[in-house]
Amino acid sequence: MDGIAEYVKRLGPYAKVQMIEVPDEKAPENMSPAEEQQVRVKEGERLLAKLAADVYVVALAIDGEMWSSEQLAGSLDKLATYGRSQVAFVIGGSLGLSGELLRRADMRLSFGRMTLPHQLMRLVLVEQIYRAMRINRGEPYHK
């Protein structure tokens, strides 16, 4: 998506951004709750394998905390101040994140109660991270 690439480029002077994707688990329509759980677990294992032990993990989850852009900026600034400069934002699959991944997360962040497609969520997330960096540097950004 062109918008994602644009914001990643804009983030260049502020942060090193790396996007890592793991493949979705093949999931047929009309799965049982047990099958859905298996899909979440397998996807969770793939995601957890990509997370270093010392990275601060923010799980994007509908039941997470809802913050303003300023609160996100403050949180990222505080993490950097206290030596937690490696932050991973994790977007789950269509069925959400596994319990194990949610337990590994240092916090849960919500962008609202709506479910969004991966690419759109990624665009919103990277734009908000860019906005947070501008806020933290006292640079102007449209409101």
Check whether 113 is labelled as a binding-site residue. yes
Check whether 102 is labelled as a binding-site residue. no
Contacts of 17 (CB under 8 A, 6+ apart): 8, 11, 126, 129
Strand-pair category, 107-110 with 56-66: parallel
Check whether 60 is labelled as a binding-site residue. yes
Of 96, 15, 9, 114, whose CA–CA distance to 59 is shortest?
Answer: 96
Q: What is the largest CA-CA distance in the chain?
A: 50
DSSP classification of residue 23 = P
Check whether 112 is labelled as a binding-site residue. yes
What residues are paired with 57 via a beta bridge?
88
Cα 113 from Cα 99, distance rounded (Å)? 19
Check whether 116 is labelled as a binding-site residue. yes
Check whether 79 is labelled as a binding-site residue. no
Strand-pair category, 87-91 with 107-110: unpaired
Which residues fall in the annotated binding site? 60, 92, 111-116
Which residues fall in the annotated binding site for S-adenosyl-L-methionine? 60, 92, 111-116
